[in-house]
Amino acid sequence: MKSIILVGYMCTGKTTVGKALAKSMGLRFYDLDWYIEDRFHKRIADIFAEKGEEGFRDIEYRLLREAAEFEDIVLSCGGGTPCFFDNMEYMNRTGITLFLKADPETIITHYHISHTVRPLLAGKNDEELKTFITQQLQNRSPFYEQAQYTIDVNVLDSYDKISIIVSQIQQILNLENGKMEN
């Protein structure tokens, strides 16, 4: 089976949904940022600090091409991954791509319940968060929207609803498998 690749802005649930999807399908789960950190034995923030964004994006480019070649996996990409080089085109060729789409309000809600440090969002009040996220979504959405499928995750306001999103994705994957068999 081709890799299943999740893209979208930070705090849209790519890791949470990706883990649940992988578990439900008996696949391995990879988070590209975690994969990079494991390979370099450094946190993403430290890689950014040492190599700058350009250096980090080069590493991300190379390790995306490594991880996305694995079979029978669900791969969650960083929020910026689709926006650089030809990454989105590559992901569409290599796997089945799904854009987890959320509005700024949902992203802010997810951010507040997340236990992950998000340097780009840290220290901002809700008004500043909304302005920043809205601007970034305007810049990044043209890349995200190149994914083969879009999943609305605005309903993802509790862990109970993860199964709803996973079911929607599995329906899409069943249709994909039907196309490949014909």
Q: What is the pTM of this model?
A: 0.94
- The answer to whether residue 119 scores a pLDDT higher than 80 is no
Res 155 pLDDT > 90? no
- The label of the residue with tokens 């995306």 reads 64
Range of the domain at 152: 3-168
Confirm whether 119 is domain-assigned: yes
CATH number of the domain enclosing 141: 3.40.50.300
Domain membership flag for residue 177: no
Q: Would residue 180 count as lying in a domain? A: no
Quote the CA–CA distance of 141 and 137 in Å, as a whole number: 5
Q: What is the pLDDT of residues 32-89, one digit of tens each?
A: 999 999 999 999 989 988 998 999 999 999 999 999 999 999 999 999 999 999 999 9
- Asked whether residue 179 is assigned to any structural domain, the reply reads no
In the sheet with 149-152, reading across from the earlier edge strand, the strands are 28-31, 73-76, 3-7, 95-101, 149-152
- Number of domains the chain is built from: 1
* Residue 153: inside a domain: yes
101 within domain boundaries: yes
> Is residue 134 one of the residues assigned to a domain?
yes
